[in-house]
């Protein structure tokens, strides 16, 4: 049989697929998700949720649930043997709506996203569990797939397909796309344990600890008294059959050594090797790769899940714009170029962290030992090399969608994500800019400067003033009052206009612009000719 197809077929019901589906559904696009599993995958998967990811999840209506369940970080510590050699504090920032990092298990994120789909867009998002993709054919105007279901084989067609089916992506394999990059042989065992402890939510890393001489141990607090330990294992130390039981014994030794002598219950174990790989392109006609299906990023630096959510956020508004005929099909080429560039930046950063955490050669091992020894002896100038670099967001400074600024002093960096800031609504409600941006294409106008043009119906206007609303009563669009450091954080002055993409990246910034300049910037963002 052949099933009537959706607007977009999504393969994979993990965070990448669900964020893509919610982003599309909020824009009126009908999606179908298929997944080979019987339900939510459990176990030791992604854990750290960045501030940028929380901003994106907020646009989908699920940030509050994530914050309620998750554990915000307070800092990061590194030890060389028994000596602390690095500490990074993550203080609260009054101009940011969200913490820098939140520990929340991937399965909880998936559960929250599924509940949001069921509550808000059940008519636009269908989910088929126990459904395996067997084959696909990409033509000029559609993608046809053969699915293996509990009810037998089914064919389905859709104008677009998004592969969110993870590191062993069936879609990627069927398309004949090979990942390129580096892999390391060092093995890590993840052990999630239930352990009551009063230690704060810090990322702790031990280099050459007594419990794992010559190697490393990482430790994170999760919700519900669960702690994650990543334990490095020398390839020659133990055979694969006895690996997990060997490491669980070592974990008990490590916990005893750091003073955590209470009872320990093993919740989950798994193994992994670090891989830094990317597909040569994320678009194959009407099929697109996203998340781990497009790239594999080492866990060191906590950029895997976070970069996948940014992939989904980038892609969903672009597919919707094409389907609604608000943008040229060429817009989807920029998904591949932008997110491949971001992946390569993330891979470079996490590869550097991997070389520190798991030196692949004797030479790198000696360099790490020398670095740690210098820091342990008080050479603080080397401490930044131990910074795990976990909270950075990668921009798109070279995107063809963006209008170069005539002056570096006007607005945030082109391609960067907008800076959050405190604002006040017309009704006097205090909040953050992140509650108002990152959903649609938006022109942010600073102060009581009239718009130089009539904006298209699908572009919002937000005016931010440092005064009261009274003199802007007749202004179209939303008016917000700066309640903090908006003008300073955005590097703007009265008269500036900034174009913000639906995914929150800055596409253009002008000082007292004319209608032609702004119209051209909007058209460029849609990959269309200016009117």
DSSP class per residue in 286-315: TEEE-GGGTEE--TTTT-HHHHHHHHHHHH
Give the pLDDT confidence score for residue 197 in this predicted structure.
92
Give the pLDDT confidence score for residue 321 in this predicted structure.
95
Are 235 and 187 within 8 A, CB to CB?
A: yes
CA-to-CA distance for 506 and 492, rounded, in angstroms? 13
Segment (H or E) for 154: strand 152-158
pLDDT per position as a tens digit, 226-258: 999 988 887 555 565 677 777 888 889 999 999
Are 282 and 289 within 8 A, CB to CB?
A: yes
Judged against a pLDDT cut of 50, whether residue 1 lies above it is answered with no
SS3 521: helix
Give the pLDDT confidence score for residue 468 in this predicted structure.
61
From 144-148, 184-188, 385-389, 460-464, the region with the lowest mean pLDDT: 385-389
Q: Give the phi and the psi of residue 49 in degrees, each rounded to 5.
A: -110, 120
pLDDT band at 513; cut points 50, 70, 90: confident
Nearest CA-CA partner of 276 in 251, 299, 254:
299
Give the pLDDT confidence score for residue 471 in this predicted structure.
53
Give the pLDDT confidence score for residue 484 in this predicted structure.
82
Give the pLDDT confidence score for residue 531 in this predicted structure.
43
pLDDT band at 408; cut points 50, 70, 90: low
pTM for this one?
0.93
Judged against a pLDDT cut of 80, whether residue 473 lies above it is answered with no
Give the pLDDT confidence score for residue 111 in this predicted structure.
95
Domain ranges for the chain = 2-69+103-180+276-357, 422-525
Positive or negative, the Cα torsion across 344, 346, 352, 355? negative
Mean pLDDT score, 166-191:
90
Question: How many beta carbons lie within 10 A of that of residue 440, not counting itself?
Answer: 15
pLDDT per position as a tens digit, 330-377: 999 999 999 999 999 888 888 777 777 777 777 878 888 888 888 888
CA-to-CA distance for 384 and 209, rounded, in angstroms? 21
- Beta-carbon contacts of residue 142 (< 8 Å; ≥ 6 apart): 5, 157, 158, 159, 286
Percent of the chain predicted with pLDDT > 90? 53
CA-to-CA distance for 36 and 11, rounded, in angstroms? 9
Mean pLDDT score, 73-95:
88
Judged against a pLDDT cut of 80, whether residue 14 lies above it is answered with yes
**CATH for 422-525?**
3.40.30.10
Judged against a pLDDT cut of 70, whether residue 449 lies above it is answered with no
Q: Give the phi and the psi of residue 282 in degrees, each rounded to 5.
A: -105, 5
Give the pLDDT confidence score for residue 276 in this predicted structure.
86
**Residue 457 C-alpha from the chain's centroid:** 29
Mean pLDDT score, 423-437:
90
Mean pLDDT score, 272-295:
94
Please tell me the total number of residues recorded for the chain in this structure: 531
CA-to-CA distance for 47 and 228, rounded, in angstroms? 9
Burial 249-267 (b: 16+ CB within 10 A, else e): ebbbebbebbebeeebeeb
Judged against a pLDDT cut of 70, whether residue 29 lies above it is answered with yes
Question: Tokens standing for 213?
Answer: 């001489």
Give the pLDDT confidence score for residue 476 in this predicted structure.
64
Judged against a pLDDT cut of 60, whether residue 470 lies above it is answered with no
Are 307 and 342 within 8 A, CB to CB?
A: yes
Judged against a pLDDT cut of 80, whether residue 433 lies above it is answered with yes
Give the pLDDT confidence score for residue 469 in this predicted structure.
53
The answer as to CATH 2.40.50.140 being correct for domain 2-69+103-180+276-357 is: no
From 8-17, 342-351, 434-443, the region with the lowest mean pLDDT: 342-351
SS3 117: helix
Give the pLDDT confidence score for residue 530 in this predicted structure.
46
Give the pLDDT confidence score for residue 526 in this predicted structure.
82
* Beta-bridge partners for 309: none
Question: Tokens standing for 488?
Answer: 């300073």
* Largest interatomic CA distance in the chain: 74
Give the pLDDT confidence score for residue 176 in this predicted structure.
95
DSSP class per residue in 197-246: ----SEEEEEES-TTSTTSEEEEEE-STTEEEEEEEE-TTTS-GGGHHHH
pLDDT per position as a tens digit, 307-333: 999 999 999 999 999 999 998 899 999
Mean pLDDT score, 455-461:
83
Report which of residues 505 and 299 the model is more confident about.
505
pLDDT per position as a tens digit, 375-394: 888 888 777 777 765 556 88
Report which of residues 120 and 371 the model is more confident about.
120
CA-to-CA distance for 334 and 331, rounded, in angstroms? 6
pLDDT band at 189; cut points 50, 70, 90: confident
Are 113 and 18 within 8 A, CB to CB?
A: yes
Q: What is the mean pLDDT of the chain?
A: 88
Give the pLDDT confidence score for residue 454 in this predicted structure.
73
Q: In what order do the strands lie in the sheet with 2-3?
A: 2-3, 152-158, 143-149, 132-138
Report which of residues 292 and 388 the model is more confident about.
292
């Amino acid at each position: 049989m052949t099933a009537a197809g959706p607007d977009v077929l999504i393969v994979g019901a993990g965070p990448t697929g669900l964020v893509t589906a919610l982003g599309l559904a909020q824009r009126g696009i009908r999606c179908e998700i298929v997944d080979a599993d019987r339900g939510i995958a459990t176990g030791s998967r992604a854990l750290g949720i960045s501030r940028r990811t929380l901003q994106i999840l907020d646009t989908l209506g699920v940030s509050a649930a994530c914050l309620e369940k998750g554990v915000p970080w307070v800092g990061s510590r590194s030890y060389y043997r028994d000596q602390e050699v690095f500490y990074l504090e993550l203080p609260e920032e009054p101009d940011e709506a969200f913490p820098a990092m939140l520990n929340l298990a991937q399965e909880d994120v998936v559960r929250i996203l599924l509940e949001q789909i069921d509550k808000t867009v059940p008519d636009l998002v269908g989910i088929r569990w126990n459904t395996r993709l067997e084959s696909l054919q990409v033509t000029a105007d559609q993608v046809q797939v053969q699915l293996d279901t509990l009810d037998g084989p089914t064919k389905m067609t859709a104008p677009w397909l998004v592969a969110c089916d993870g590191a062993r992506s069936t879609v990627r394999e069927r398309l004949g796309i090979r990942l390129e990059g580096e892999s390391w042989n060092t093995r890590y065992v993840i052990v999630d344990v239930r352990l009551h402890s009063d230690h704060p939510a810090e990322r702790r890393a031990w280099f050459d600890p007594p419990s794992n001489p010559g190697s490393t141990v990482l430790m994170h607090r999760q919700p519900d008294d669960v702690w994650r330990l990543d334990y490095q294992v020398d390839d020659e130390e133990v055979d694969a059959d006895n690996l997990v039981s060997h490491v669980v014994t070592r974990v008990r030794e490590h916990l005893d050594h750091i003073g955590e002598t209470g009872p320990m219950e093993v919740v989950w174990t798994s193994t992994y090797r670090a891989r830094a790989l990317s597909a040569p392109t994320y678009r194959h006609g009407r099929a697109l790769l996203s998340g781990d299906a497009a790239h594999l990023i080492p866990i060191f630096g906590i950029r895997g899940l976070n970069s996948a959510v940014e992939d989904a956020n980038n892609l969903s508004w672009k597919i919707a714009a094409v389907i609604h005929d608000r943008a040229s099909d060429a817009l989807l080429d920029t998904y591949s170029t932008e997110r491949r560039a971001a992946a390569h930046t993330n891979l470079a950063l996490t590869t550097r962290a991997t070389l520190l955490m798991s030196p692949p050669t004797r030479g790198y091992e000696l360099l790490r030992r020398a670095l740690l020894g210098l820091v342990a002896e008080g050479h603080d100038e080397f401490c930044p090399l131990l910074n795990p670099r976990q909270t950075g967001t990668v921009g798109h400074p070279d995107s063809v969608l963006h209008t170069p600024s005539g002056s570096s002093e006007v607005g945030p960096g082109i391609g960067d994500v907008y800076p959050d800031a405190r604002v006040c609504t017309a009704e006097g409600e205090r909040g953050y800019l992140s509650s108002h941006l990152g959903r649609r294409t938006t022109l942010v106008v600073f102060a009581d400067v009239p718009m130089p043009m009539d904006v298209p119906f699908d572009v919002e206007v937000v005016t931010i003033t440092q005064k009261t609303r009274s003199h802007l009563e007749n202004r179209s669009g939303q008016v917000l009052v700066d309640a903090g450091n908006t003008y300073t954080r955005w590097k703007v002055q009265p008269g500036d206009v900034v174009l913000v993409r639906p995914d929150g990246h800055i596409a253009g910034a002008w000082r007292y612009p004319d209608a032609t300049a702004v119209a051209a910037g909007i058209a460029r963002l849609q990959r269309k000719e200016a009117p």
